[in-house]
Every structure is written in structure tokens, then in C-alpha cells.
Amino acid sequence: MSQALHPMLNIAIKAARSAGSIINRAALDLEVLKVGSKGPNDFVSEVDQMAENIIIETLLEAYPGHGILAEESGRTHGAKNSEFVWIIDPLDGTTNFIHGFPVYAVSIALAHRNQVHQAVVYDPTRNDMFYASRGRGAFLNDRRLRVSKRTRISDALIGTGFPFRKGDNFKRYVKMFEEVMQSCAGLRRPGAAALDLCYVAAGYYDGFFETGLNPWDVAAGSLIITEAGGLIGNFTGEADYLYQREVVAGNPKVYGQLVSILAPYTRVIKEEADAPAAATAAPDTAADATQAFVDGAPAIVQPQALAGAPAKKRAAVRIRKTGPQGEDAPM
């Protein structure tokens, strides 16, 4: 990595590589791996926990005043009220990992005042490091990333993720799947959303959609996509995807066409009663389907902040609800 990186991004890369080493060592002998379950088809291994521990240790050693939001330990580590929060998935694609299917990744993002500013997604099986700093572009190792230039969804390769948890709406997903499948050139489901988002940024996919995702699945990939010139939002094209458990991403043209298909399937809670002045309707056309940004970066909207001040907007989409804007981080 020849270009000068932000110090916080360097620490995230160091943490991701340390976690990747643990994952790669464990992958050599999966037979002795201890695996538990958080629910039906939702696995956690001792490797998830070891990788998360080394990430948190590395981050807090460098930045002890920062907060942590991690998949396995939640918010039990770090400062509880910091404006800086590291959002961590130590092993995205655990089911793939425990079966020896080599598609999984480490995902680390740093948010400041509810905006992602630094992002790392590390694929330890290929030694591929995807990373981005806000306003400085997205990269894979030393190569600058740009989304694809395809303009028609009929020519597009689309990534997705299948619902797998008890309580997921499988029938709803099958309808979405059928509609997208008949509109595009092909659908793929490797099984690690953090990598899927990076594949959109790299132009391998032209678009991506999934339901049921958590903030740690999406946070890092969201910045990598936008820094590569792509768009990401919920199914109606708005920026409150991180805590809404639905996400669509793509190059700008394909993103708009995906939003047109997926908008009827949205589950985003309408809260007009809480914020009547910021109410919005779904985009009427693909051209209207443009992601909402706060000062040019993807916004993280937390549940307790959904009725806060509206974000700045691009194109014709009016924003129903966003998180607190704040000033730019000193990064």
C-alpha cells in the first residue's frame, strides 16, 4: 500500500490482519473447531470470538477513548459515550468458514458522529485488503476501485444474500428474488455480505441487495462503495439502511433500477408522526432513486435518532429521517 493512509485506517488494517492470521490458522484444522449457535442456522465459533478479541485489543490500545460495537460482544468494550465508534464483524461468513468454503472476511469501520469515516474489509483467504477513508477513495490493496459502468439491469450481475434466520420472511424474499432474477443477467449468493459490498465497489457486481443484515455487516462496505462512486440505501433509496435490516447497493444506474424493483418490498417503518416535515415517498422513477448523504458520506442512522434533523440530500429524494449531523470529524 504505497499511498499514505490515515493513522486510524492504519490501525484498522493492522487489527484486520491480526484477526485474519487467527482465522487462517484455524482454517487449517477445522475438525477441532468449537462451534456454538446463536439461533437456527446462525453459528458462532471460537474463532469469531478470538478474532474479535484481538481486533478490540488492537483498536483500544491505540484509541482507548473510543467506543466499540461488535457482533459477538455488543457494546461491552470501549467508552460508552464516545463520538467515535468502531463497528466490527470479526468473521463475516462464519457458516462458510466452518464448512471450509473460502468466502469470508473481517469487517471494521470507524464512525464519528454517526458517519463512517474509515473502513476495512479483509479477505484472509486471498490476502485482499479493501479499504477506504472518507473523501480519499476506495482501494483493493494498491488498486483504486471504481464501480462498474453498466447502465442496464438486464446486463447486470447482481449479488444477494438469502434469509436464514427463524422469523425471516422467506416468501417475501422469494418474490423479490424472482423479480430481480428475471430482470438481470445473473444472481450470485456467496454468503458474506461485507465482501459482497466490496465486490460492488470493485465492479465485480453491478448491484447487490439483502434483507436481515446488521450494522456490522454493512458499515465498512457502505463507505467503500460510496468512495468507489456507487450508491447504497434502503429499498426506497434512502440513507437509513444501517439499522433497517434491508440494503441495496450498486453503480448509480443499476442502483436506481434495483430501487424501482425493490421499493414495494420495503419494511422501513414510517414515522411521519414523529417527523411530519421530513416525510418522504418512495422514488417514482429510477432517476429519483439516489442515496441520501450527510456531507457527502453515508449516514449511520441509529434507532434513537430516527426523528432527528434531516440529512442533506442529492437529486429529488426527500429524506424522512436521519441521525444527528454534527461537524466533520478531525480526521
The verdict on residue 322 lying in a domain is: no
What percent of the chain is predicted at pLDDT more than 90? 64
The verdict on residue 283 lying in a domain is: yes
The verdict on residue 313 lying in a domain is: no
Boundary (domain end) residue, out of 116, 144, 172: 144
pLDDT in tens, 75-130: 989 999 999 999 999 999 999 999 999 999 999 999 999 899 999 999 999 999 99
Rounded to an integer, what distance in angstroms lies between the CA atom of residue 229 and that of residue 138? 9
Instruction: Tell me: pLDDT of 221 over 90.
Output: yes
The verdict on residue 42 lying in a domain is: yes
pLDDT in tens, 156-182: 999 999 876 665 678 888 999 999 999
Instruction: Tell me: pLDDT of 3 over 70.
Output: no
Q: CA of 201: how far to CAs of 59, 100, 250, in Å?
A: 25, 26, 8
Are residue 169 and residue 296 in the same domain, yes or no? yes
Give the residue carrying C-alpha cell 461485507.
194
- What total number of domains does the chain contain? 2
Scanning 84-187, the segments in alpha helix (DSSP H) are: 94-98, 170-181
Are residue 178 and residue 120 in the same domain, yes or no? no
Instruction: Please give the residue that has the higher pLDDT: either 193 or 284.
Output: 193
Asked whether 8 and 118 are in contact (CB, 8 A), the reply is yes
Phi-psi region of 252 (alpha: psi -120 to 50; beta: other; left: phi over 0): alpha
Helix (H, G, I), strand (E, B) or coil at 112: strand
Are residue 186 and residue 68 in the same domain, yes or no? no
Are residue 200 and residue 103 in the same domain, yes or no? no
Instruction: Tell me: pLDDT of 301 over 70.
Output: no
Are residue 120 and residue 240 in the same domain, yes or no? no
What percent of the chain is predicted at pLDDT more than 70? 76
Are residue 157 and residue 298 in the same domain, yes or no? yes
Average pLDDT, the chain: 82
Are residue 159 and residue 284 in the same domain, yes or no? yes
CATH number at residue 114: 3.30.540.10
> Which residues does residue 106 pair with via DSSP β-bridges, in sequence order?
122
Are residue 45 and residue 162 in the same domain, yes or no? no
Helix (H, G, I), strand (E, B) or coil at 160: strand
Sign of the CA dihedral with 212 first, then 218, 219, and 222 last: negative
pLDDT in tens, 242-259: 888 899 999 999 999 999
The verdict on residue 328 lying in a domain is: no
pLDDT in tens, 12-67: 999 999 999 999 999 998 887 877 766 554 566 789 999 999 999 999 999 999 99
Asked whether 237 and 263 are in contact (CB, 8 A), the reply is yes
CATH number at residue 225: 3.40.190.80
Instruction: Tell me: pLDDT of 133 over 60.
Output: yes
Are residue 28 and residue 88 in the same domain, yes or no? yes
Instruction: Tell me: pLDDT of 317 over 80.
Output: no
**Quick one: pLDDT at residue 310?**
34
Instruction: Tell me: pLDDT of 297 over 90.
Output: no
The verdict on residue 315 lying in a domain is: no
Are residue 120 and residue 208 in the same domain, yes or no? no
The verdict on residue 320 lying in a domain is: no
Residues 6+ apart with CB under 8 A from 182: none
What residues make up the domain containing 26? 7-144
